Amino acid sequence: MRTSVQTEPLTLRRVHHAYNNVEVLHGIDLTLNNNELVALLGPSGSGKTTLLAIAGGLLRPTSGEVSILGAPPARDIARKVAYILQAGSLIPYLTVAENLHARRIVAGLKPDRARAAELLEAVDLAPKADRHPDKLSGGERQRACVAQALYTGAPVLLADEPTASLDRSRGRAVMTLLAAHAHDTGAAVLVATHDERSLDLADQTLSMEDGVLHG
Ligand SMILES: Nc1ncnc2c1ncn2[C@@H]1O[C@H](COP(=O)(O)OP(=O)(O)OP(=O)(O)O)[C@@H](O)[C@H]1O
């Protein structure tokens, strides 16, 4: 499947953000392109999570512009943007497979059982599809969140430390899946990471330092 989107998937212009009057993002300009995985490096507290939250419409910036597929964030956002959140996004009352379907339904799409099975296989969770999240390890929950985000097929994917709980080979497998998502579907993928072991899989690397983005 190749996205037919022609406009830039995501742009931020002069984005500032303050928490309690303390500014943590100082005028971010960012454009994500189709078919690209961009790695966002930066020390803890530099503003990566805040930037991802604003980029995906989870947080309204103090000032500046966000454009997703050529329009400001609006009620169709779940169809346009998929997230892998640092805190995870699994509903404890649903099994892994049900969590995948729930995310797709929120995006206004019908479940696609064959695709769900394929993704659970890809993250090595097929045998645990019917387990609830509290019966999984931290790394397994993280991989379930990766499958969940990919399952929506959204043209913009934002991932916050998606390999944090994973060992080297599983971390690399996840980064390979995210890069394939960009290259095979044309999606724009932004990955905040401390993990420099898989940077060779990124098309571009940016770094964040004290709320300022460097190319
Ligand atoms: N809800 C909040 N209220 C107040 N300050 C916050 C809040 N969230 C983040 N901050 C502050 O904003 C700054 C940027 O935080 P952010 O979480 O975006 O950084 P990060 O680069 O993602 O860090 P990490 O790699 O540790 O996740 C930090 O100084 C942090 O303490």
Compute the distance between CA of residue 152 and CA of residue 200 in angstroms, rounded to an integer.
26
pLDDT of residue 6: 60
ipTM (interface pTM): 0.96
Q: Whose CA is nearest to atom 12 of ligand 1?
A: 24
Torsion sign, CA atoms 38, 41, 44, 45 = negative
End-to-end CA distance of the chain: 30
Q: How far is the CA of 186 from the centre of ligand 1 (A)?
A: 30
Q: Whose CA is nearest to atom 7 of ligand 1?
A: 19
- DSSP letters, 147-211, are HHHHHTT-SEEEEESTTTTS-HHHHHHHHHHHHHHHHHH--EEEEE-S-GGGGGG-SEEEEEETT
pLDDT of residue 215: 82
Best substitution site from 48, 160, 206 to test ligand 1's pocket, by max atoms within 8 Å of Cβ?
Answer: 48
Strand partners, 212: 209
CATH code linked to domain 10-214 = 3.40.50.300
Residue appearing with tokens 């645990």: 128
Contact criterion met (CB below 8 Å) for 50 and 59: yes
Of ligand 1's listed atoms, the one at least distance from the Cα of 46 is: 21
Contact criterion met (CB below 8 Å) for 149 and 157: yes
Give the distance from CA 58 to its chain's centroid. 12
Total H helices, total E strands in the chain? 6, 9
Q: Is 49 in the pocket of ligand 1 (CB under 6 A)?
A: yes
Contact criterion met (CB below 8 Å) for 133 and 144: yes
User: Tokens at residue 158, please?
Assistant: 């934002």
Contact criterion met (CB below 8 Å) for 82 and 158: yes
Compute the distance between CA of residue 95 and CA of residue 117 in angstroms, rounded to an integer.
13
pLDDT of residue 5: 45
Contact criterion met (CB below 8 Å) for 133 and 156: no
Of ligand 1's listed atoms, the one at least distance from the Cα of 211 is: 14
pLDDT tens per residue across all 215 residues of the chain: 454 446 899 999 999 999 999 999 999 999 999 999 999 999 999 999 999 999 999 999 999 999 999 999 998 998 999 999 888 889 999 999 999 999 999 999 999 999 999 999 999 999 999 999 999 999 999 999 999 999 999 999 999 999 998 999 999 999 999 999 999 999 999 999 988 888 999 999 999 999 999 98
Please compute, for residue 139, the number of CA atoms within 13 A of its CA located in the half-sphere on the CB side. 13
Q: Whose CA is nearest to atom 14 of ligand 1?
A: 47
